[in-house]
Structure 1
């Protein structure tokens, strides 16, 4: 009896999952944002790099509410090389975080771990050089885990929850692929958008503004 009940629950979960994915496939899709290398600064590092009390200069809005690209750029320097004109994104954050691709890591001589944003403990160090000074960070460099921002309302409609892992079909007709291990980040502060880095986009022929679709979800 218990085995039959467990089997019934599993069949129901499979049915609900299939129906949810079918509904997603009928929708307009999820906008894609391709993230180039960039940096988020805290107040202390902003002061050290650009001058005490200096504020970021708004250049253009990004896909997420309140997020923007600034006019300010820095140079990042690793053991092997450096990369200039790395865009600073605003607003300022509690901790400095450098987001690069794995290809950038080869240029710099670093091996950035693939991490969710904010998970910087134990990551490689790097030197950040600005127009007014430089700072050496013990750990702040990641390759961002591909993810989807989704509002609470959108998640509720489709039965998703924060931190769930899904599969997403993305890319040009000639090079499309299904990307696994895509993290859902759900909050009333988010707008619907998927983020991948330039390495991932180039591999599948994807570009900013493409529409992608969730085609599966990890077993819980």
Structure 2
């Protein structure tokens, strides 16, 4: 049995009764495997490999979270926001997975707005009326958000307040060929100058669902 903390995540590797070559894997209180095959050391190495991979993909930004690790238990508490769907997002941002994006004639848009500055550290609820069991896998009382979370959430509100949507042109670039996961060619959701792109991704178009392609490929 192993109980440790790695890069802010609480990790447990537990024995499985009657199955000596299997392990139960728990991260931040969430069980992700009931019968992982291997010993304690191999299981811990696997956790480290996955966490390192997550953190090296531009930590804390939407591309990291869209890479297949949307669940909040993969992240250090207080470093991400959690929307009503239970998906992790960068603080002050939105999830762009296909479950959290609405497609309509007016254009694709996020289903859930960024959290309020004073929302709970570990979910989307406010202090007033916070429900302990609202999260099935992570029941908790209200926890004050970290300064980084509050700053990022407020920064989004400040930036949004400065935008005039009637006059603000959007990129609207379309991918140069059909994509098997889209009914029509993917269309960029960013502003025309891409200033709302995640840091380091200003030169890439972003469509609903998180698909990205270089700006110079657009037609």
| TM-score of the two chains, using structure 1 as the length reference | 0.23
Compare the two structures and name the one with the higher strand fraction.
1
Query: Under a length normalisation based on structure 2, what TM-score does the superposition of the two structures give?
Result: 0.23
Higher RCO, 1 vs 2 (CA within 8 Å, ≥6 residues apart):
1
